[in-house]
Every structure is written in structure tokens, then in C-alpha cells.
Amino acid sequence: MTEFSASQVEAFLSCRRKYYYGSLVRLNWPAPFDRNFQKAEALTALGRDFHLAVQRVIQRILTIDEAIQTNQGRVKIWLEQFSRTIALPSDGAVYAELPLTMAIGEDLWNGKIDSLAVSGGRATIYDWKTTRRPGKRSDYAEAAQTRLYRALAVANRDALGIAPNRLPDIEMIYWFANFPDDPIRFTYSESAYAEDLAALTALAAEMRSTNEADYPRTRDAKTCAWCRYRTYCRPSSVALEFDEEDFEPAADDLMTIADFE
């Protein structure tokens, strides 16, 4: 059985060689040591702090007011925006950093959902984004996260208390900490579920190859600029100037420290 996640799909779609290094060869290669990566790591750490603070609020380790008071700078502002715009149900179950799995054929798909709220059989999947640029609906409609997380909710609906045979009752919301009044929402349907399963199955078929030739390097210099393998894969390439607006922390980067705490 081969295991896949949304961040592996994102790596595969951005550069096949990057996915090959990370998931097949499991190359342990440190990120470039330059100002760009230091800035990227600082932004990733802010996103991680925000996710961890929200997890603590949902799991009732802190009240939202305590979380706001004990953070500062951007994370404090994001938590204030979260408090103002997100209303989680008080009469159901609310999960944070919820790991879910499902099998499709011979493949095992993994996801860790930022938050899942279930109330009266209805489910809302939340994904918190700390990007500097507003989200584009078209980008998220076919994102691996959208496809995988909705399908994971369906596959685990009995255990989670989600009503059977009512896929329109599953909603996915991308909430943007810097644009809290402009979330992107996707409802679900039987046809979208079938499309998601077909898309994930097709991706897995390509990502299962062990032949390096099936994983060419990207030609997009911007993708290489953010790639931790740059000094290994393209040692003569020149780092591009950092544009904070282009940077979005990868889901795996956000989890790393939180998982050890």
C-alpha cells in the first residue's frame, strides 16, 4: 500500500522532481542559507504559531481572549480576526488538527484537517491560511486539499457523526487571516465527490512510479526559488528576490513543530 498526502500532491504538481526527492528518495537536504529562506522560515513560524494557538482554543486549553493576550504582532491580530469572524458551533463536536485516513484501491491517503466542526449531522471543514495575498477561488476549487479533505470527511463520516447520504451538508471553508471577511466556501455533492476520487486515483497512478525519468525538473524559476533542494538540484541557480506575497507555508511545515509539542 502506498501512502499519499495533500502536500505530496502539491509538491508533485509544482515540480515532479521536488516530489521525487522528498517522497521517493527521502533526500535529507537542508534548505539554502540565505535571506529569502530566513524570511520564509520566519513567515512559516508565524503561521505555525497561529495554527497552534487556534488548536489550543478549540481544545479548550486557552480561551480565545487568553490566546489573544498571550500572543503579539501579526499572530495577535490574526487571532483577533479569528475571534471576530469565526463562529464554531457550541452544540456539536469541534476537532482541531484532526488526522484522517482513507483507502482508495491500494493507496492510503492521509490528511490533517485544521478544524472540523460537526453539528446536527452537518460538517464544516476549516483550513486556516496566513497568506499575504487574497485567495483565488479557481485556485482552491481543484486544490489537492479541497479534494482530499472533503473525501476524507465522507470516508470517516460514521465515526465523526456526519449524516450519511447528505453530501451537500459537507462544506469546506478556506479562511484567510489577512482577509477574514472574504473566506472561500465550497459545498459538496455526489458528482464533486466522484470527481475528487477520480482525480486522486489518477494522481496516485502517476505518483507511484519509481522511475526518476518520470519526475522532470520544473522550468519555473519561481518554484525553484522556494525549493529546499535548490542547492542540490540546481546549484548554479540564483536566488530570486523574496516577495512575501508569493509565499505560502506548506502544510507539512506548519505541522512539524506543533506535532512535537
- Which residues of this chain interact with ligand SF4, rule CB under 6 A? 15, 17-18, 21, 217-218, 223-224, 227, 229-230, 233-234
C-beta of residue 83 within 8 angstroms of C-beta of residue 96: no
Report in angstroms how near the CB of residue 223 gets to ligand SF4 at its nearest.
Answer: 5
Nearer of residues 153 and 224 to ligand SF4, judged by Cβ: 224
* Sequence-distant (≥ 6) Cβ neighbours of residue 84 within 8 angstroms: 180
* Sequence-distant (≥ 6) Cβ neighbours of residue 81 within 8 angstroms: 177, 180
Nearer of residues 25 and 255 to ligand SF4, judged by Cβ: 25
Nearer of residues 67 and 233 to ligand SF4, judged by Cβ: 233
Cβ neighbours around 211 below 10 Å, total: 8
Report in angstroms how near the CB of residue 38 gets to ligand SF4 at its nearest.
Answer: 18
Nearer of residues 25 and 197 to ligand SF4, judged by Cβ: 25
Nearer of residues 93 and 221 to ligand SF4, judged by Cβ: 221
Report in angstroms how near the CB of residue 229 gets to ligand SF4 at its nearest.
Answer: 5
Report in angstroms how near the CB of residue 250 gets to ligand SF4 at its nearest.
Answer: 13
Nearer of residues 25 and 88 to ligand SF4, judged by Cβ: 25
* Sequence-distant (≥ 6) Cβ neighbours of residue 241 within 8 angstroms: 36
* Sequence-distant (≥ 6) Cβ neighbours of residue 90 within 8 angstroms: none
Report in angstroms how near the CB of residue 27 gets to ligand SF4 at its nearest.
Answer: 10
C-beta of residue 101 within 8 angstroms of C-beta of residue 110: yes
- Can you name the residues that pair with 174 across neighbouring β-strands? 127, 184
Among left, alpha and beta (phi > 0; psi -120 to 50; other), residue 6 is: alpha
∠ CA(138), CA(142), CA(144), 5° rounding? Answer: 135
Nearer of residues 186 and 242 to ligand SF4, judged by Cβ: 242
Report in angstroms how near the CB of residue 235 gets to ligand SF4 at its nearest.
Answer: 9
Report in angstroms how near the CB of residue 17 gets to ligand SF4 at its nearest.
Answer: 4
Distance CA 57, CA 76 (A): 13
* Sequence-distant (≥ 6) Cβ neighbours of residue 202 within 8 angstroms: none
HSE-up of residue 76 (Cα within 13 Å, Cβ side): 7
44: cell is 512559516
